[in-house]
A and B are shown apart, each in its own frame.
Chain A
Amino acid sequence: MHLMTLYIGASNMERSEEPLTVNTPEIQHSAVPCHPSLENSTMENLNKQKETVFSLVQVKGTWKRKAGKNVKQGMKGRVSAAKIYESTSSSGTTWTVVTPITFTYTVTQTKNLLDPSNDTLLLGHIRDTEQLEAVRSSTKPLKRFIVMDEVVYNLYGSQVTDYLEARHVLYRILPLPTTEENKSMEMALKILEEVHQFGIDRRTEPIIAIGGGVCLDIVGLAASLYRRRTPYIRVPTTLLSYIDASVGAKTGVNFANCKNKLGTYIAPVAAFLDRSFIQTIPRRHISNGLAEMLKMALMKHRGLFELLETQGQFLLDSKFQSAMVLEDDRIDPASVSTRVAIETMLEELAPNLWEDDLDRLVDFGHLISPELEMKVLPALLHGEAVNIDMAYMVYVAREMGLLTEEEKFRIICCMLGLELPVWHQDCTFALVQKSLCDRLQHSGGLVRMPLPTGLGRAEIFNDTNEGALFRAYEKWCDELSTGSLR
């Protein structure tokens, strides 16, 4: 016993403010093993124990815990935002660690991203002005690893190469066919083998992904895994990724024939949005992106909906290349619509980056479409599948009295105006039911169905009944299976 006191004493000397752990006043010896049905289970004892909260202060390179929640940052050292809570019982000690990790990322609109005089691609992710200066004045050549979707590479590969050459960057460009079918862990690992061979600095040489959503998702996952976190940058080249994939944190690959079953919530350090990439996008893919824009409009923004109603064809025809300032100072629909789409998306994603809350308006159009998309792969593009889902859900909303007939009609007309499919024969009622069943399992036992309650307004519902869903389905097929509105 004497020797033990010495050690406690020694440990005590190191931390004079530490409560002596030996002197726990309320030690409860559970002499009798507790049956789970008894009130006084081991766990309840544990939870009733007094908890001491410790803050963490760094002094001379070492972190020390100090009792108290609000330890003032003083001359002593840096105080962490993390806290440790400690309580002791007869079985031992329980520590609870609470650590906030802050994710910061930038979404930057720019023009002429591949013009060698534009710094953005290489330096746009650096927010700290000092750091930026240091990099600019350094003679050391920059190193960058770039993954490009194959199709994008054929169109823009030489421009990207010219940019990097002109900026004297040590680079490696990896062109890959990034499709929904090969969106797998194997592809992510293949990318990582190349990254590893090339060699990048752990923190200062972000991997750059240039392509559509699939490309950005796969590269994002690869980067998240490498060294447990490697910064990466997204350059979306499709409209869909411009307003959707680039703006949130999600990365992922498909697994066991399910969409995005594996992935992370690690955001890129930055996303660089250059509208000019969209000019080489086929018309069908512009519609595809418009579906996600419409989603945000239906959920949150009447003004955006009306813009898509009236300007949808213009946007399709002009491929979002209309100038920012039009003649007569008219408002440019491309600028406004992309801006509003991103803003509304950021509003919904930023406070729920890791999906702590499973009630998400942005899930609209994503309850049934994953199953449908995977089933008929590659017949439907992602946005097309989303739109079919949304069209059906509009009928559900109508059936539940949330929308008027006029509103329903306007929405479907708008969808057709954007040249999006509003029905699909493979979207059977069985598929609908299966999707909703999966949704239940995937969302903690609640269906959490976002439905429009007006134009540009929505709510989450958990109590949709089978009857309403079926009636809506019948009407939907009845009215839209011919491909146009009867």
Chain B
Amino acid sequence: MEHRGLGLLALLAALAPCCCAAPGPTLWPMPLSVKTSPRLLVLSRENFSIYHDPSSTAGPSCSLLQEAFRRYYDYIFDFNKSRLNPAKHNSAAELKQLLVSVVLESECDLYPSITSDESYTLAVEGPVAFLKANRVWGVLRGLETFSQLIYQDSYGTFTVNESNIIDSPRFPHRGILIDTARHFLPIKTILKTLDAMAFNKFNVLHWHIVDDQSFPYQSVAFPELSNKGSYSLSHVYTPNDVRTVIEYARLRGIRVIPEFDSPGHTQSWGKGQKNLLTPCYNGPKQSGTFGPINPILNSTYCFLSQFFKEVSTMFPDQFVHLGGDEVEFTCWESNPEVIAFMKKAGFGRDFQRLQSFYIQKLLGIVSTLNKGAIVWQEVFDDHAKLNPGTVVQVWKNEMYHVTQAAVTAAGFPVILSAPWYLDWISYGQDWRNYYKVDPLDFDGSQEQKKLVIGGEACLWGEYVDATNLTPRLWPRASAVGERLWSQQNIKDIEDAYDRLTIHRCRMTRRGIAAEPLFTGYCNF
């Protein structure tokens, strides 16, 4: 691969760490296989278009692809800041078309899933480039890569190197967690996040939608939950809002996995659902405060059945996240009815067993609804009996490799988040730490390692809302994005720095206020 102006670069490098190398293709995340030739092609707004290959299983009736074609056309030709089309380079050949071909049944009107095929090949040569994928999901990934290959030379001409790319992700579950309970996030912010996720090939939005502090999810079956539990009536996600997010995500090949965390983290549920939470006691008398969901009442499971039935319909993804983290036992310990129940059930004073009792019943409910479950690691750590296929999300930072080994040894799939808590900000280039993580860096067999289905960058909301979410997420999450998509041997951190600075500039150009990695500027 040839860089023009390498000598000048070296000189400039001595002066200042400049982000803006000579213009050229910059890919993020790095695809599986990239072969670029120095042969250049030019393209222009007027003469270039993206078409369905006649042999494709998808055509103009596939709105997911139609929308994508339009979106990427705009991203390529920089609809906001496009300079007037400059004179054509007479010497270079023209790229007139990108032909898109879906090989297998397109899945155009389906929702993406954990087994979705995101692979694609891209052959860029004049006058027609070919993007081939098994399913529409691969087309989406390929369009993003294609858009990253195109750059403007110093005359403003849209240029692309002839290239051949074969690509598919290392891990199938590549997620971002957003928390809309600690701070409400306006829909616009969520949609912008989905855009940025698509630029980085993330494919799961883990929506931690409710928690102690607020319940913004408007339930049709239980409207009082949000009426009483949201911060205010304008801090609510209506069913329409939820549908908007899900469809916007689908069009970008992103799954929306809701998390309704219980039995802990549920203070806000008690505002609109009486008798759901455990009343805490001060000696013989109720203290007036409440603890986790009350696991000993039939009404609890009646409620949960109805509630999760609605959730299962509202959210089409195969999986639902049930939480299960950080359950405080003190309130349960104080409640005489709970104590009596424990005795009768033979749990003694082992509240982990009560917790597991609850979780197992909830898992049963969810399984009846034909959904898979994802839980936080405590559910596994505290010995609940899990159905095979239950996914365990590892989040505790201490010795997480050991946890990964234990969970996979027991045969359960793992989502890794522990080293990727992006809400934990610090001074300097912390993206490097996220990049250096290897999700398979633990003691285990090949079979065990296969159970690591991916990871999630978490942006908990205690200190985050729409004012600072985007710069805090990007480009730091991009480091996680490459780690989850690209091959294990893509580890050169200085090359990553060079590519990520440019990818970051590209994101800002596309309307994502990604913060700078370091001193420098964007070339536009």
Q: Say whether A associates with B.
A: no
Interface residues of A (CB under 8 A from B): none
User: Measuring CB to CB, which residues of chain B are less than 8 angstroms from any residue of chain A?
Assistant: none
